[in-house]
Chain A
């Protein structure tokens, strides 16, 4: 990771990721102007945000070349997050009626 050619290549990647993130930001704002129906708007917004977030995590945070242990930590975290998100949601859609 300390090799100069390596770092130069990484810097080129950072610039490309930056340009992509700018483009995706413009795209997400432009699509919001279309006032799509809510389910489509939510899906598009979250997909674009996930791609942007994925790029930041993979390249700026070096996750794409990180050790497996970090993937396990994050994988477990994501599992916990979806549990925290989906359990209350499930109870909302499956209430006890008297």
Chain B
């Protein structure tokens, strides 16, 4: 059975179904992270004292992580552009680099978290650490989710390129939209938590 409008645009929306589906999902993710950012704001405003992010957190490591994630967004969009140019080899390269960058991000996060735990800086210690671990932990889970999908499209999912290249390109574009969103959240998380 063919799922309709995976490539052709629906006449009423003017978009293929996958694209509008992923944007609706991203809208729900905006509400999720938005609610947690609002929580951070309320906690900070209501607190008698609130530490500067750079007095507790590792800014150089997080800056590297920001560069890693932004670079992975570029490789992600290049992977899609390679498919548009009919260059499957380049797609494999860029998609692979995107997944690797995800591993890099998580490795640095692991180093950060384990250093915190080693020094007894647990989420239970104070409100700042609680909201820090919640926000970055949830973001990290989204990174893992994105990597799973990107890895699938790099690996077994790439079979679809042979039978329906346009459908496969749209899948890569949609997973790319999710990945860019993950990058976007970090672009706000980094200054809010680490620099203010």
Taking Cβ atoms with an 8 Å cutoff, the residues of A that contact B are: 1-2, 4, 7, 10-11, 14-15, 17-18, 21-22, 25, 28-29, 32, 38, 41-42, 45-46, 48-49, 52-53, 56-57, 60-61, 67, 69-70, 73-74, 76-78, 80-81, 84-85, 88-89, 92
Contacts of B14 in A (CB 8 A): 67, 69
A61/B180 contact (C-beta < 8 A), A25-B66, A81-B34 known:
yes
Q: How far is the CA of A74 from the CA of B27 in the complex (A)?
A: 6
Q: Is the CB of A70 within 8 A of B20?
A: yes
- Main secondary structure, interface of B, reads helix
Taking Cβ atoms with an 8 Å cutoff, the residues of B that contact A are: 13-15, 20, 23-24, 27, 30-31, 34-35, 37-38, 41-42, 45-46, 54, 59, 63, 66-67, 70-71, 73-74, 76-78, 81, 84-85, 176-177, 180-181, 183-184, 187-188, 190-192, 194-196
Which 6 pairs show the lowest CB-CB distances between chains A and B? Answer: A32-B195, A45-B191, A81-B34, A77-B27, A85-B38, A18-B74
Q: How far is the CA of A52 from the CA of B189 in the complex (A)?
A: 12
Q: Is the CB of B20 within 8 A of A29?
A: no
Q: How far is the CA of A17 from the CA of B70 in the complex (A)?
A: 10
Q: Is the CB of A92 within 8 A of B42?
A: yes
Residue of A whose beta carbon sits closest to that of B39: A88
Q: Output the least CB separation between B178 and chain A (Å).
A: 10
Q: Is the CB of B180 within 8 A of A56?
A: yes
Contacts of A89 in B (CB 8 A): 38, 41-42, 45
A28/B191 contact (C-beta < 8 A), A53-B184, A85-B38 known:
yes
Q: How far is the CA of A42 from the CA of B23 in the complex (A)?
A: 29
Q: Is the CB of A21 within 8 A of B38?
A: no
Q: Is the CB of B67 within 8 A of A25?
A: yes
- Main secondary structure, interface of A, reads helix
Q: Output the least CB separation between B128 and chain A (Å).
A: 15
Q: Is the CB of A7 within 8 A of B196?
A: no
Q: Is the CB of A7 within 8 A of B85?
A: yes
23 A-B pairs (CB sep. < 8 Å)? A10-B81, A11-B78, A28-B195, A32-B54, A32-B59, A32-B195, A38-B196, A45-B192, A45-B195, A49-B188, A53-B188, A56-B180, A56-B187, A60-B183, A61-B177, A61-B180, A73-B27, A77-B30, A84-B31, A85-B34, A85-B37, A89-B42, A89-B45
Residue of B whose beta carbon sits closest to that of A15: B74
